[in-house]
């Protein structure tokens, strides 16, 4: 590390931002408001840090991340579990907002996580619609689970709410399809993705909004990014089972449902699944392997800009 290099960690909460700078070990706090964020961005541009590290906090970090990236500052967003594991590894057992900011700055200095590319406005809008769709589906599921055990007095209210949520889900689906149809870039990708038997509109939209790296990485990298790559569990004489770990859970859950459909209707995935089961693989292991296979096929299709061609797939 040269003397001029600076690393910044920012802990994001609902009301405030805690900022730490290394090597000066300076720590301060600002309100999480537009005016404060603008002032912070101006100050950080003056500092010219080598890297700014934030945690993913369910979307609270998005306005700040967008402001930093728009200003040309190098910003990386890391998984909170990674930050906490790093803190434990360095002996930081206490947890406060200021300490978290210092840990993030130290993580950036030590591990140099990759800088996040700035999403354009269309992608952010599509991701917001997709997030809202996910929320509506979750509310629908909860209300449907409540209905069988509900008393007579509340059953009518729950039924009305289910009907309203169903209509809202249909409206959001329409908004999603309209957003994709309005973009030539997305429409071409959507056509390519949905040409694969088993890949429907939900999977295609999820990949477009939440996995923009699709088609730019190799098969191992894209599998690890989504969280369907097996990791070793071997140490000394112990030989453990391989497990998937981490990744983007929202993408993985949609990919799982698409894989279940592909096992029934896609001859390549169906045959691949059948050989795995015949070889003695457990059902969940076989499905996970099919998820990885389906993802790598989609990744290859987007990279080569070609629709589904089963004769070109090696299984």
Task: Looking at the structure, tell me whether residues 169 and 282 fall in a common domain.
Answer: no
Q: Is residue 1 part of a domain?
A: no
User: Do 77 and 63 touch, CB atoms closer than 8 A?
Assistant: no
Task: Looking at the structure, tell me whether residues 137 and 102 fall in a common domain.
Answer: no
Please count the structural domains in the chain. 3
Which pLDDT value is given to residue 172?
93
Domain limit, last residue, from 159, 182, 205 = 182
The larger pLDDT score, comparing residue 118 to residue 1, is at 118
Percent share of the chain, pLDDT over 90? 66
Residues 150-176, mean pLDDT to the nearest whole number: 94
Residues 225-247, mean pLDDT to the nearest whole number: 74
Residues 123-147, mean pLDDT to the nearest whole number: 91
Tell me: the pLDDT tens digits for 46-100?
999 999 999 988 778 888 988 898 888 999 999 898 899 999 999 888 889 999 9
Task: Looking at the structure, tell me whether residues 277 and 170 fall in a common domain.
Answer: no
Task: Return the number of other C-beta atoms located less than 10 Å from residue 232's C-beta.
Answer: 10
Q: Is residue 178 part of a domain?
A: yes
User: Do 50 and 40 touch, CB atoms closer than 8 A?
Assistant: no
Sorted by sequence, the CB contacts under 8 Å of residue 121 that are 6+ apart come out as none
Task: Looking at the structure, tell me whether residues 198 and 176 fall in a common domain.
Answer: no
DSSP string covering 248-315: -HHHHHHHHHHHHHHHHH-HHHHHHHHHHHHTT--HHHHHHHHHHHHHHHHHHHHHHT----GGG---
* pLDDT value at 3 more than 80: no
Which pLDDT value is given to residue 235?
62
Task: Looking at the structure, tell me whether residues 255 and 306 fall in a common domain.
Answer: yes
Residues 179-205, mean pLDDT to the nearest whole number: 91
Tell me: the pLDDT tens digits for 205-224?
999 988 988 999 999 999 99
Residue 138: HSE in the Cβ half-sphere, 13 Å Cα cutoff = 8
Which pLDDT value is given to residue 8?
96
pLDDT band at 238 (very low <50, low <70, confident <90, very high): low
CATH code at position 91: 3.30.420.40
Q: Is residue 116 part of a domain?
A: no
Q: Is residue 292 part of a domain?
A: yes
Task: Looking at the structure, tell me whether residues 275 and 168 fall in a common domain.
Answer: no
Task: Looking at the structure, tell me whether residues 253 and 299 fall in a common domain.
Answer: yes
Which pLDDT value is given to residue 1?
45
Q: Is residue 149 part of a domain?
A: yes
**What is the average pLDDT value for the chain, to the nearest integer?**
89
Residue-number span of the structural domain to which 127 is assigned: 121-182
Judged by DSSP in three states, 23 sits in coil
pLDDT band at 234 (very low <50, low <70, confident <90, very high): low
Pairing of strands 51-55, 7-12: parallel
- Beta strands in the chain, from DSSP E residues, in sequence order: 7-12, 16-22, 26-31, 51-55, 75-78, 234-235, 238-239
Which pLDDT value is given to residue 189?
92
Domain limit, last residue, from 131, 162, 182 = 182
Q: Nearest Cα to 10, choosing from 32, 35, 34?
A: 32
Q: Is residue 187 part of a domain?
A: no
Tell me: the pLDDT tens digits for 289-314?
999 999 999 999 999 999 998 765 65
Domain limit, last residue, from 73, 88, 111 = 111
Radius of gyration, alpha carbons of the chain: 23
CA distances from 249 to 79, 228, 286 (A): 12, 10, 19
Which pLDDT value is given to residue 71?
86
Task: Looking at the structure, tell me whether residues 206 and 301 fall in a common domain.
Answer: yes
Residues 192-212, mean pLDDT to the nearest whole number: 93
Peptide bond into 94 cis (omega under 30): no
CA 157 from chain centre, in angstroms, equals 35
């Amino acid at each position: 590390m040269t003397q001029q290099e600076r690393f910044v960690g920012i802990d994001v909460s609902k009301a405030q931002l805690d900022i730490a700078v290394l090597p000066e070990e300076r720590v301060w706090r600002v309100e999480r408001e537009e005016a404060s964020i603008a002032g912070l961005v101006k100050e950080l541009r003056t500092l010219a840090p080598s890297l700014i590290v934030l945690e993913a906090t369910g979307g609270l970090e998005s306005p700040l991340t967008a402001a930093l990236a728009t200003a040309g500052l190098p910003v990386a967003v890391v998984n909170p579990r990674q930050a906490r594991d790093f803190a434990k590894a360095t002996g930081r057992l206490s947890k406060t907002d200021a300490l978290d900011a210092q840990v993030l700055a130290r993580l950036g200095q030590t591990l140099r996580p990759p800088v996040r590319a700035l999403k354009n406005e269309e992608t952010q809008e599509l991701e917001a619609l997709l997030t809202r769709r996910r929320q509506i589906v979750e509310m629908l599921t909860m209300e449907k689970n409540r209905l069988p055990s509900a008393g007579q007095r509340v059953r009518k209210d729950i039924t009305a709410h289910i009907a309203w949520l169903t209509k809202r889900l249909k409206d959001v689906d329409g908004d999603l399809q309209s957003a994709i149809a309005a973009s030539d870039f997305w429409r071409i990708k959507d056509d390519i993705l949905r040409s694969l038997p088993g890949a429907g509109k939900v999977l295609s939209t999820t990949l477009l909004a939440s996995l923009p790296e699709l088609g730019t990485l190799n098969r191992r990298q894209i599998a690890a990014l989504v969280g369907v790559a097996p990791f070793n569990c071997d140490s000394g004489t112990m030989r453990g089972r391989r497990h998937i770990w981490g990744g983007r859970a929202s993408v993985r859950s949609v990919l799982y449902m698409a894989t279940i459909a592909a096992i029934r209707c896609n001859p390549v995935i169906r045959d691949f699944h059948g050989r795995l089961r015949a070889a003695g693989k457990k059902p969940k292991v076989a499905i996970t392997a099919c998820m990885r296979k389906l993802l790598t096929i989609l990744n290859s299709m987007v990279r080569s800009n070609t629709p589904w061609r089963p004769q070109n797939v090696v299984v």
